[in-house]
Amino acid sequence: MNRTDGGRHGTTVNRTGKGGHAAAVKRRTRRLVGGLRIRLVVVFVAVALISAVTATALAYRDARTAVLQRTQNTAVNDLREQVAEVAADFDVPPDQRSLARFAAEVSEGIGARIVVARHQDLVAVSDSLADTESRITAELRAAVRAGDEARFQRVEWRGEPYLVVGMPVTYADGDRRTSGLEVFAITDLRAERDDTAALLDSVRAGIVPVVLLAAVLALLAAGTVLRPVRKLGRATRELAAGDLGSRTAVTGHDELADLARTFNETADALQASDAELREQEAKARRFVADVSHELRTPLAAMTMVATVLEEDADQLPPDAARAARTVGAETARLARLVEDLMEISRFDAKAVRLNAAETDLAETVRASLALRGWTGRVRTRLPEGVRAAVDRRRIDVIVANLVGNALRHGAPPVTVTLRTVRAADGEWVTLEVADHGPGLPPGARERVFDRFYKADESRTRGASDDSGQGSGLGTAIALENARLHGGTIDVAGGSQGGAVFTLRLPLRRTEEGME
Amino acid sequence: MPPTCISVPVRGGGTAVVAPIIERMPHVLLIEDDASVRDGMELVLRRHGYGVDTAATGEQALALLDGPGGGRVELAVLDLMLPGMDGFEVCRRIRARTTALPVIMLTARGDDHDIVTGLEAGADDYVVKPVTAPVLEARIRAALRRAEPSGQAPGASGQTPGAPADLAGLVIDRAGLTVTKHGVPVALPPTELRLLLELSASPCRVFSREQLLESVWDHSFLGDSRLVDAAVGRLRAKLEDVPAKPRYVQTVRGFGYRFGPL
């Protein structure tokens, strides 16, 4: 349980950070209190206790009743027989002496129990030292006097239980008249009480192991129920984390097995459709890559000879000259488009490699601008000494694209600013390219990095621009290049209008020193 | 970049007529399987005054080099994707025949593996298809310049040529452009020789890859630094006793390369 909780705990923290930690702890606490395991244990123990207590109570009551019944019957019968035997030689009315002898004889016959004999005002007790008055209640005496049957009553005297049996002595002949003689016998019930108490004691001693056993059984039952649930939970989490191959083992034929089977079927279906989608996507991408590749060979020939046409355009008739120049320019554009398509295909196929080396960024940006003849058209703020491990060629692609876009779509002045920024997540280099044009139309910011996305016509300043139109893939490729470095490109509106593109790269330096 | 041989684009003077050849123009071997690309390159190079031989396969090219006309070829432009024997193998075989012939590979951009393999096979430079005529021509000129025996040795300005320097057993004759190690001549292809001359001209000075690309390869910007790394690797294989622990051409991590200290 702890192990599972630990794993779950970790996952949550990873996914949601600090906020998730408290939530995970709270959830764990709630699960401990309201968990299936605890509930099962509580229910099992409660059932065991109720069963044990009920059974004990019933058994105790029956046993006690039976024991008392037997004791009472025995006591009544014993007394009756003994009285019948002794009373045969007894003369009524008795005197004190004969009454005492009578009580003593009866007592002797029934195992030395205390016997009290009464005749009107005369009272004789077999044990002269015993206190009998408080044990023989007035109620019993009245009942004995009124009836002609043996009566008994259980009384508590000085914390001990006693059975008091009383009976009137009747004449044996004819109408069974009462003789006025009453006999009471006091039987000690302590032995019986101890016997039944022993039953309770043994139940009390037995109930602890029974409850423990119930708890253990509950844990075992919870284990057998919870293990598949836990497995299913783990599989679900793996699936949610993107491992579509995650499955859970199906054992048995119960409801949990059904659930596990359903989960597996769902995961199968998900994996199948995911694979299908991926395959389709891969096919589409491969198609683009193949098409670009196939276009390249004829383009190579066209590109090579297009310069011949352009070189000789001056000697051609005007129409043919225009045609030659158009062929030259469009061939170059087509070549650029195919190159960009192939580049983006390589990113899609993850076939790109970062060829990073420590580089002076100011120098790189300046060289990129100079190479394209943009040095005079761009205001730069490029502090010296900013060195980072980057792929120079890819940085050039990014700079060319961002600055090219600003020159093509924005209005001057275009500014390029290099900075280093220390943030909570490390040191970063930012390169900000800002123009002062109309800025991006609403809704374009989110889409500006989409492939072949062209913002509103107002951002295009016409075909007179020397760099011509981009392939429509430039910003997408720039962003991919930035991501390859572990960076990003953000776009925002400038404070005085215009668009601001900011390249953010982690400031990583290679190890300096000697090999 | 200053032209050291005459290859001025022709303007005027009638239709596509090649300017009168003032200097003997270099002879280039094109090895390319696609007929249109081959014809296009031939057309462009001939227009700019080059002598051109063409081969559609590697086998043809090697046969041509071994044939009677093979001696006049001064540079090979080699497509890596060839039917039959591939470009890498052709490059290796050319290198096995002669160290003096510069080889420029034609490759698809982004096929990084091909580029590295090609450079390891001994190619001096590469261009990415589709290539424009001016770019191809500039690369050809630069490669030829490196191979020119009379060409100014890089870094020679501060040194007195003709006084071969003995650098711990390595004798570099800047005038004769020969290198011997412990008296044994070391045959170096033009690019590697120029690189060694450049580095050894200023022992212990650290050259960045960019500097070397500019001074040795004539790449003004954004040359591929792997060209330098590959050439250094080939150079070490020929010069160093233990190429993994170089004495002559040492790496300065994060900066570049230097000659020595010995």
Q: Tell me which chain B residues have a C-beta less than 8 angstroms from the C-beta of A358.
A: 254-255
- Closest chain A C-alpha to B175 CA, distance in angstroms: 33
A367 and B222: CB-CB below 8 Å? yes
A302 and B253: CB-CB below 8 Å? no
Who's near A90: CB < 8 A, 6+ residues apart?
A98, A102, A169, A181
Using the predicted structure, report yes or no on whether residue A457 has a pLDDT greater than 60.
Answer: no
d(CA B186, CA B239): 8
- Across the interface, of B37, B40, B109, the residue whose CB is closest to A339 is B109
Using the predicted structure, report yes or no on whether residue A64 has a pLDDT greater than 90.
Answer: no
Q: What is the pLDDT of residue B17?
A: 43
**Inter-residue contact A353 to A343 (CB < 8 Å):** no
Give CA torsion, residues A455, A457, A462, A466, to 10 deg. Answer: 0
- Across the interface, of A301, A355, A513, the residue whose CB is closest to B37 is A301
| Averaged pLDDT for residues A488-503 | 86
B253 and A511: CB-CB below 8 Å? yes
Using the predicted structure, report yes or no on whether residue A295 has a pLDDT greater than 50.
Answer: yes
Closest residue in chain A to residue B209, using alpha carbons only: A357
- Across the interface, of B34, B110, B224, the residue whose CB is closest to A297 is B34
Q: What is the pLDDT of residue A173?
A: 67
A300 and B131: CB-CB below 8 Å? yes
**Structural domains in chain B?**
27-147 (3.40.50.2300), 156-259 (1.10.10.10)
Using the predicted structure, report yes or no on whether residue B76 has a pLDDT greater than 90.
Answer: yes
pLDDT higher at B252 or A22 = B252
Query: Residue B163 carries which side chain, given as an amino acid letter?
Result: A
Closest residue in chain B to residue A396, using alpha carbons only: B222
Q: Tell me which chain B residues have a C-beta less than 8 angstroms from the C-beta of A315.
A: 15
The pair of three-digit structure tokens given for residue A32, joined into one six-digit string: 């401990």
Cα B19 to chain centroid distance, Å, stands at 26
Closest residue in chain A to residue B39, using alpha carbons only: A301
Kindly state the DSSP code that residue A495 receives in the 8-state scheme: B
For residue A477, give the nearest of A457, A450, A504, A507 by alpha carbon: A450
| Averaged pLDDT for residues B140-152 | 75
Q: What is the pLDDT of residue A498?
A: 82
The pair of three-digit structure tokens given for residue B162, joined into one six-digit string: 């003709």
The pair of three-digit structure tokens given for residue A51, joined into one six-digit string: 């069963």
With a pLDDT cut of 70, the percent of chain A lying above it is: 88
d(CA A372, CA B135): 15
Q: B79-124, pLDDT tens digit by residue?
A: 988 888 888 999 999 988 888 889 999 887 656 778 888 888 888 8
pLDDT, averaged across chain A = 81
Kindly state the DSSP code that residue B29 receives in the 8-state scheme: E
pLDDT higher at A457 or A77 = A77
**Inter-residue contact A221 to A40 (CB < 8 Å):** yes
A346 and B129: CB-CB below 8 Å? no
pLDDT higher at A81 or A172 = A81
- Across the interface, of A299, A393, A512, the residue whose CB is closest to B222 is A393
Using the predicted structure, report yes or no on whether residue A503 has a pLDDT greater than 90.
Answer: yes
Using the predicted structure, report yes or no on whether residue B70 has a pLDDT greater than 60.
Answer: yes
Using the predicted structure, report yes or no on whether residue A32 has a pLDDT greater than 90.
Answer: no
| B contact test, residue of A304, A391, A512 with most B CBs within 10 A | A304
What pTM was estimated for this model as a whole? 0.60
Q: What is the pLDDT of residue B221?
A: 62
**Inter-residue contact A225 to A255 (CB < 8 Å):** no
A305 and B225: CB-CB below 8 Å? no
**Structural domains in chain A?**
2-56+197-240 (no CATH), 88-190 (3.30.450.20), 256-347 (1.10.287), 355-506 (3.30.565.10)
Q: Tell me which chain B residues have a C-beta less than 8 angstroms from the C-beta of A298.
A: 36
Exposure string (b/e) for A341-352, b if CB count within 10 Å is 16 or more?
bbbbbbbbeeeb
Q: For chain A, say whether B225 makes contact (Cβ under 8 Å).
A: yes
For residue B232, give the nearest of B205, B202, B209 by alpha carbon: B209
Where is average pLDDT lowest: A397-406, B148-157, B176-185?
B148-157
Q: For chain B, say whether A396 makes contact (Cβ under 8 Å).
A: yes
Residues 346-385 of A with CB under 8 A from B: 346, 351-353, 355, 357-358, 367-368, 370-371
| A contact test, residue of B46, B253, B258 with most A CBs within 10 A | B253
Residues facing residue A184 across a β-bridge: A116, A166
Strands A151-157 and A160-170: antiparallel
Residues 29-48 of B with CB under 8 A from A: 34, 36-37, 39-41, 43-44, 47
**Inter-residue contact A221 to A256 (CB < 8 Å):** no
CA torsion sign for B231, B234, B235, B240 is positive
CB atoms within 10 A of CB A354: 12
With a pLDDT cut of 90, the percent of chain B lying above it is: 16
Distance (Å) of CA A403 to CA A390, A448, A489? 19, 15, 13
Quote ipTM for the complex: 0.72
- Residue keyed to tokens 């009677």: B68
3-state secondary structure of A247: coil
Q: Tell me which chain A residues have a C-beta less than 8 angstroms from the C-beta of B108.
A: 293, 296, 342
